[in-house]
């Protein structure tokens, strides 16, 4: 799905005159997207001789706070640490294979077509529009092996509203939206793949939301984050960083009241009586932070079978804002911004921990942003520090093998969704950055 700010605005409309600007959801997600895209980040040069990066190769273990570097340099994480330059250059057909791709030549001129995610049985959800010559979006399931598209029946009532896939299973597809893109009732559009029928669900007992922040749990429920508190700038505003922009490192985070809703009974709405920041599920655990989009506090892990909860200090760093969060198996992935230093160098981190709180590895470099989709096993790291920067590009960190690979030497102005298992999306620029190519690949192990 597209996460560039201009594209998010465009996705609410077919053309400018009929704009229904989703200002509330943009404000809710604004600090994250501005922070990530504020200066563009970069990829890495192949320096490792082997494809597997093990903790023994990562430079001697955690650095204690008593050994912190001078204030003009980003401090070292309390973890084994990789830089983007430590990535091995990936080779197609040796390290990965391309499953499919799609190019939009000019997304600045009009909305386009997108690879929105991958189903559990390997088909790609393909979204077309809305755009200037097509008022409403339409969807297809694309077979990456043949390129054939199975166009789904029209989704009645969607209008020009943006949709976000939350569950792409073998039996059903679930897309979330807000009516007219405005704060209020969250809707779930469910496509039954056997009957080929759409159903739209709403839950009258669910509080209104500003943005459809929800994740699918393993118990056939959606877990919805309802805004509780929002971090505010300090008195006098944020300090100015060395790059001349506001530096909101160590911002006060946002919190949410957690609710859950049944996918089969719209009267079944539960207040989970839990305050969370970021939230993720594995097959056996629920994982959350105290807050998100700012200082994270502690990480919490609940065993879904026993209900036993544990928590730990993730050692994000004194100035770190938690901007992205995911979990799979016994791993937690946190993407963070931790301040701007001399020369406009940013302390950005993609931190990988165990669900027991062990520091597995932290990828630290200016502009690095990480993403782990639900059910994924591959962390995608994107970085853009300008077209001439030698480390701009897309990277992957394989949680199964600890390989750290550089996939491309450029990233577009637009983003992509996620894929399960050993598959991953990345994106590259075309047409002088007016457009983008989305790629779907699979790691070869």
pLDDT one-digit tens code per residue, 40-66: 222 222 222 222 333 333 333 333 333
> Do residues 396 and 376 touch, judged by C-beta distance below 8 A?
no
Whole-model pTM: value is 0.84
Q: Which two tokens stand for residue 235?
A: 């008195």
Residues in the chain: 445
> Do residues 111 and 19 touch, judged by C-beta distance below 8 A?
no
Cβ count near 433 (within 10 Å): 14
Q: Which two tokens stand for residue 2?
A: 């597209």
Q: Which two tokens stand for residue 255?
A: 């919190």
CA distance from start to end of the chain: 27
Q: Which two tokens stand for residue 388?
A: 């001439």
> Do residues 191 and 176 touch, judged by C-beta distance below 8 A?
no
The CATH code belonging to domain 5-443 is 2.130.10
Q: Which two tokens stand for residue 367?
A: 């502009």
Strand order in the sheet with 164-168: 164-168, 172-178, 186-192, 197-201
> Do residues 295 and 321 touch, judged by C-beta distance below 8 A?
yes
Q: Which two tokens stand for residue 410?
A: 């450029």
> Do residues 196 and 173 touch, judged by C-beta distance below 8 A?
no
Closest CA to 258 of 198, 295, 302, 294: 302
How confident is the model at residue 31, as a pLDDT?
Answer: 34
Q: Which two tokens stand for residue 99?
A: 């499953």
3-state secondary structure the chain: CCCCHHHHHHCCCCCHHHCCCCHHHHHHHHHHHHHHHCCCCCCCCCCCCCCECCHHHCCCCCCCHHHCCCCCCCCCCCCCEECHHHCEECCECCCEEEEEEEEECCCCCCCCEEEEEECCCCCEEEEECCECCECCCEEEEECCCCCCEEECCCCCCCCCCCCEEEEECCCEEEEEEEHHHCCECEEEEEEECCCCEEEEECCCCCCCECCCCEEECCCCEEEEEEEEECCCCCCCCCCECCCCCECCCCCCCEEEEEEEEECCCCCCEEEEEEEECCEEECCCEEEEECCECECCCCEEEEECCCCCEEEECCCCCCCCEEEEEEEECCEEEEEEEEEEEHHHEEEEEEEEEECCCCEEEEEECCCCEEECCCCECEEEEEECCCCCCCCCEEEEEECCCCEEEEEECCCCCCCCCCCCECEEEEEEEECCCCEEEEEEEEECC
* pLDDT beneath 70, residues of the chain: 1-71
How confident is the model at residue 180, as a pLDDT?
Answer: 85
How confident is the model at residue 71, as a pLDDT?
Answer: 54
- Give the sign of the dihedral formed by CA 154, CA 131, CA 370, CA 444: positive
How confident is the model at residue 387, as a pLDDT?
Answer: 74
How confident is the model at residue 43, as a pLDDT?
Answer: 27
Angle (CA) 204-205-208 rounded to 5° is 80
């Amino acid at each position: 799905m597209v996460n560039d700010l201009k594209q998010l605005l465009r996705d609410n409309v077919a053309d400018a005159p009929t704009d229904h600007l989703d200002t509330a959801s943009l404000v809710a997600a604004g600090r994250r997207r501005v922070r990530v895209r504020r200066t563009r980040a970069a990829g890495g040069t192949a320096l490792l001789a082997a494809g597997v990066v093990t903790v023994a190769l990562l430079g001697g273990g955690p650095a204690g706070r008593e050994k912190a570097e001078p204030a003009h340099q980003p401090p070292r994480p309390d973890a084994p640490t990789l830089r983007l330059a430590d990535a091995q250059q990936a080779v197609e057909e040796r390290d990965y294979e391309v499953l499919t791709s799609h190019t939009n030549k000019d997304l600045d001129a009009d909305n386009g077509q997108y690879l929105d995610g991958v189903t559990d049985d390997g088909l790609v959800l393909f979204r077309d529009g809305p755009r200037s010559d097509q008022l409403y979006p339409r969807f297809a399931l694309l077979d990456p092996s043949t390129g054939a598209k199975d166009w789904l029946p029209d989704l009645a009532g969607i209008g020009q509203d943006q949709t976000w896939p939350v569950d792409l299973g073998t039996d059903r597809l679930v897309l979330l939206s807000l009516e007219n893109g405005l704060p209020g009732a969250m809707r779930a559009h469910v496509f039954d793949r056997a009957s080929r029928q759409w159903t739209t669900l709403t839950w009258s007992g669910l509080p209104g939301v500003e943005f459809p922040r929800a994740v699918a749990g393993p118990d056939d429920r959606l877990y919805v984050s309802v805004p509780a508190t929002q971090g505010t700038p300090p008195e006098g505003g944020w300090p100015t960083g060395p790059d001349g922009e506001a530096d909101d490192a160590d911002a006060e985070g946002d919190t949410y009241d957690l609710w859950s809703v049944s996918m089969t009974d719209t009267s079944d709405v539960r207040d989970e009586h839990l305050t969370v920041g970021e939230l993720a599920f594995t097959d056996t655990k629920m994982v959350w932070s105290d807050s998100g989009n700012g200082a994270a506090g502690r990480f919490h892990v609940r065993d879904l079978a026993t209900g036993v909860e544990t928590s730990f200090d993730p050692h994000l760093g004194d100035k770190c804002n938690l901007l992205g969060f995911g979990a799979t198996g016994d791993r937690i992935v946190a993407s963070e911004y931790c301040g701007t230093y001399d020369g406009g160098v940013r302390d950005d981190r993609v931190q990988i921990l165990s669900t027991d709180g062990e520091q597995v590895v932290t990828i630290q470099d200016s502009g690095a942003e990480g993403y782990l989709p639900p059910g994924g096993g591959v962390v995608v790291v994107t970085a853009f520090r300008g077209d001439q920067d030698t480390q701009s590009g897309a990277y992957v960190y394989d949680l199964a093998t600890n390989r750290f690979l550089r996939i491309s030497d450029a990233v577009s102005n637009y983003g992509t969704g996620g894929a399960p298992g050993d598959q991953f999306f990345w994106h590259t620029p075309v047409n002088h950055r007016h457009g983008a190519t989305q790629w779907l690949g699979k790691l070869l192990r």
